[in-house]
Structure 1
Amino acid sequence: MTSPTALKLGTRRSALAMAQSGMVAEQVRRITGRDVELVEITTYGDVSREHLAQIGGTGVFVSALRDALLRGEIDFAVHSLKDLPTADPEGLTLAAVPLREDPRDALIARDGLTFEQLAASPRGARIGTGSPRRMAQLNAWARSMGLRVETVPIRGNVDTRIGYVASGDLDAVVLAAAGLSRLGRLAEATELISPDIVLPAPGQGALAVECPADDAGLVSVLAELDDPFTRAAVTAERALLAALEAGCSAPVGALADPVVDGHITELRLRGVVGTTDGSSLVQMSITGPTPASRDEAVALGHELADEMLAKGAAGLMGEREL
């Protein structure tokens, strides 16, 4: 009897993308008993050397994978969910949002120092990040303590970014804790930054498993990877981002997490928008029911966006992506 054809999983070529996709591939193998072949695809975001804010950010790591799905060259794809545009693509479906990894940002600093120790040095600190969201909140954090940092825009893979610290070019870099964890490098972090200080990007730490909407069998199989709470949380975060009419390169942070009082009672959604120099922030939160349906999660995100816009959030994002 002929064995079932291997499923083709599309992934970016980076070490982190390959690690994330390999995790999902192994789960699909266990569920289906079928082999899963990783198909490496180069995206525009991988080859462009410009900073994400210059090339738009939205979809630059996603479009090539989606095109391959629609052409039938791959069966499904794995993305970092924070890279996904908020608009739903025609012909494709978000089949699964697996259990979320740690959504926090992580500092990797010289000499094992914390952010406050670096910022308190007489010359301040040069901290690298490719994210306007991080720049806004790190600068605001330093301002709140009367300290000085210089946030330096950088790009590159994890090795490249950490290399700026090892070489002495920068005092520290800030990366997603989830990525470090999936690469087995979380121990290199000198500080995990509390969301009370720096809110992560909407969807940070979560993966998105996408496939053709008309492949009912595959949609059903991949749905077994879905974590309902993670999906509700990231749906609320992304609804906030969409309602602010901001792309993934905008200085917007968001996190939906449980309110725990003996047991999980509510879903709290926090959002922040700020100028990259940290001089102005709009930071607010609301709570809603949990477990939340998709409509409830979307409504929560829209409600918080309305409140933030009323407080002047739009003016802090500069030229919004429409």
Structure 2
Amino acid sequence: MTPVLRLGTRRSALATTQSGHVADLIRARLGREVELVEITTEGDISSAPLASLGGTGVFVSALRDALKRGDVDVAVHSLKDIPTQPEAGIALAAIPTREDPRDAVVARDGLTLGELPVGSRIGTGSPRRVAQLEALGLGLDVVGIRGNVDTRIRKVASGDYDAVLLARAGLARLGRVDEITETLDPLQMLPAPGQGALAIECRAEDEALVADLAQLDDPRTRAAVTAERAVLATLEAGCSAPLGALAEVVEGDDGDELWIRAVAMSADGGLSVRMSTTGSPTDAAETGNRLASDMLAEGAASLMNSTGMEAPVRKQQR
């Protein structure tokens, strides 16, 4: 009898929903039974800013430790939370089809960003979103926020905030798309590298399981997020850096093409290096590396550590 697969998940509603989605994929496509095993992380029980705990990587580490101990057989993460460096003994076995990667606004009275009055309080815990919001020059009061999706949206309903920014993918998975008042065009706000995608990991030594889980992989999604994460790695930017990137695989005249654009910003949004390029989906990492190298040549690395006050705005496009 085939043993039940133990799938590790954080306890939050979004994490268990995402893990439940992967469990359903495993049951339907691999014919394996799955049980969810809840793992508590420091990030779930602490109210301290995530940056002080090591960023969203604190969630990933706890699940990976459970894998290595043998407490679970499979772990599911939001791909944007995973460090770009490979983890010894851990295989990124599959990246399923990606949800919509864009950012979304949940605002009072059904308002869009542009309709919010000057001085409105906007909640986000992401330096990437803060920098891009500031660059829009809407005169909004951007305030830090923590907590799960429900907690953040309730702060709008209670009047503590006029709006919050969230990943549209998470709201979609939770069945809360109707609460979105605006989905932001990537021209306004580029998402985090890997946003909207899930990562399915297992122990690298479990070769049969690695091969089975690979059947859940979506090649187009993997190519896109590989390019985005290559930008992140080459720029040596962590999850807290004001960096956005978005890639997609599209049909070209001679087959599939990979399109990617990225922006690196100063913390206050006053300076930016914005570029784009194309390549082959089979060379996704090289395409991302090439774009990041071009951005480095324009000063992207020092820019992300600046205050935005040293020089005029610099915007580069290719």
Q: Same fold (TM over 0.5)?
A: yes
Structure 2 CA distance, aligned partners of 1:10 and 1:137?
Answer: 34
Structure 2 CA distance, aligned partners of 1:195 and 1:258?
Answer: 16
Q: Is the 8 A contact 1:52 1:249 kept in 2?
A: no
The match for 2:82 is: 84
Q: Give, in angstroms, the shift of residue 4 of structure 1.
A: 2.5
RMSD after superposition: 1.5
Structure 1 CA distance, aligned partners of 2:107 and 2:255?
Answer: 35
Q: Give, in angstroms, the shift of residue 263 of structure 1.
A: 8.9
Q: Encode CA deviations 1:176-195: one digit per residue, 9 max, x unaligned.
A: 00000000001100000011
1:139 corresponds to which of 109, 118, 134 = 134
SS at 1:62 equivalent? helix
- Which blocks of at least 5 consecutive residues in structure 1 are unaligned? none
Give percent identity, aligned residues only. Answer: 63
Q: Is the 8 A contact 1:269 1:286 kept in 2?
A: yes
Structure 2 CA distance, aligned partners of 1:35 and 1:164?
Answer: 39
Q: Encode CA deviations 1:54-82: one digit per residue, 9 max, x unaligned.
A: 33315211001101111111111000000
The match for 1:51 is: 49
1:198 corresponds to which of 166, 189, 193 = 189
1:271 aligns with 2:269: no
The match for 2:160 is: 169
1:311 aligns with 2:298: yes
Residue type at the aligned position of 1:6: V
Structure 1 CA distance, aligned partners of 2:69 and 2:274?
Answer: 42
Residue type at the aligned position of 1:244: L
Q: Give, in angstroms, the shift of residue 44 of structure 1.
A: 2.1
Residue type at the aligned position of 1:188: E
The match for 2:311 is: none
Residue type at the aligned position of 2:37: V
Q: Is the 8 A contact 2:223 2:249 kept in 1?
A: no
SS at 1:94 equivalent? strand
Aligned residues: 306
SS at 2:143 equivalent? strand
Q: Is the 8 A contact 2:130 2:142 kept in 1?
A: yes
TM-score (norm 1): 0.91
Higher mean C-alpha displacement, 255-264 vs 124-133 = 255-264
1:281 aligns with 2:268: no
SS at 1:60 equivalent? helix
Pairing 1:149-164 to 2, within 5 Å after superposition: 149-164=140-155
Q: Give, in angstroms, the shift of residue 315 of structure 1.
A: 1.7
SS at 1:202 equivalent? coil
1:127 aligns with 2:117: no
Q: Is the 8 A contact 1:258 1:264 kept in 2?
A: no
The match for 1:117 is: 115
SS at 1:272 equivalent? strand
Structure 1 CA distance, aligned partners of 2:26 and 2:111?
Answer: 40
Structure 2 CA distance, aligned partners of 1:191 and 1:263?
Answer: 36
- Which blocks of at least 5 consecutive residues in structure 2 are unaligned? 307-318
Q: Is the 8 A contact 2:260 2:277 kept in 1?
A: yes
Higher mean C-alpha displacement, 105-114 vs 273-282 = 273-282
Q: Is the 8 A contact 2:91 2:202 kept in 1?
A: yes
1:12 aligns with 2:4: no
The match for 2:231 is: 240
SS at 2:240 equivalent? coil
Q: Which runs of 4+ in 1 moved over 4 A?
A: 259-265
Structure 1 CA distance, aligned partners of 2:255 and 2:20?
Answer: 32
Q: Give, in angstroms, the shift of residue 48 of structure 1.
A: 2.5
Structure 2 CA distance, aligned partners of 1:137 and 1:257?
Answer: 21
Q: Is the 8 A contact 2:80 2:194 kept in 1?
A: yes
